[in-house]
Amino acid sequence: MLIKKLEKVGEVTSPARVELKENVEVIHLSVGQGGHVLAIDRKANCWSWGNNDCGQLALGASDSIVHMPCQITDLMGVPLKMTACGKQHSLFLTKTGKVWSCGKNQFGQLGYDTEEKRHIDTKMQKSVLQINDLKDVTFIAAGEKHSLAVQQKEKNPLKLYSWGWNGYGQLGRTNENQSFTLNRPKKVETTGE
């Protein structure tokens, strides 16, 4: 149990409990700028609720607004470490250092080479897909339309990867070829020490 069930939907001006299944203990929360929430429980299961207009809740073709926490079945059995919420996309980091994503991909923020909303992949019947370019990731973050990941292989130095929209330079790179988007994770090069 996390926070109280509301009788009617609307603005809440004071803290209220959100009901999860009995004996579910939440150990990690992420809140999206577009009104969605992701939670990881002690057993590494992931729950989502809120705005789902672009599939950012990883619930497949469900309602555009989900009022009660729902377990993400496509990630059942995947040991999750953390989540990150952008405005209309979500990232999921596993304990083995793999990254999954879902939601709106207009600017490449999902790490795939497609501009489709990722409500559901019809071949795989999955609402969330793994970003195959990333492994050994230790931390993830999501901005409004961009994503970041920190990678550390064994005792090697940390590496930062970014992808998505770069309109303000938030990817840590110049706008290569006058493009403001990067559809795949790319290492951020630093200058100095």
pLDDT exceeds 80 at position 119: no
Greatest distance between any 2 Cα atoms in the chain: 56
The pLDDT assigned to 113 comes to: 73
CA-nearest of 126, 135, 90 to 110 is: 90
Mean pLDDT of the 97-114 span: 90
Residue at token pair 């959100």: 18
Angle at the Cα of 186 from the Cα atoms of 53 and 120, rounded to 5 degrees = 25
The pLDDT assigned to 102 comes to: 94
Q: Give 177's pLDDT tier (boundaries 50, 70, 90).
A: low
pLDDT exceeds 50 at position 3: no
pLDDT exceeds 90 at position 109: yes
Domain regions of the chain by residue span = 26-187
Q: Which fold, 26-187?
A: Methylamine Dehydrogenase; Chain H (2.130.10)
Greatest mean pLDDT range, 6-20, 118-132, 155-169: 155-169
pLDDT exceeds 90 at position 135: yes
pLDDT exceeds 70 at position 120: no
pLDDT exceeds 50 at position 41: yes
Mean pLDDT of the 52-60 span: 91
Instruction: State the Cα–Cα distance between residues 139 and 103, nearest whole angstrom.
Output: 19
pLDDT exceeds 80 at position 82: yes
Q: Give 184's pLDDT tier (boundaries 50, 70, 90).
A: very high
Instruction: State the Cα–Cα distance between residues 12 and 23, nearest whole angstrom.
Output: 25
CA-nearest of 122, 100, 8, 98 to 56 is: 100
pLDDT exceeds 50 at position 64: yes
Q: Give 189's pLDDT tier (boundaries 50, 70, 90).
A: confident
Greatest mean pLDDT range, 43-52, 150-159, 182-191: 43-52
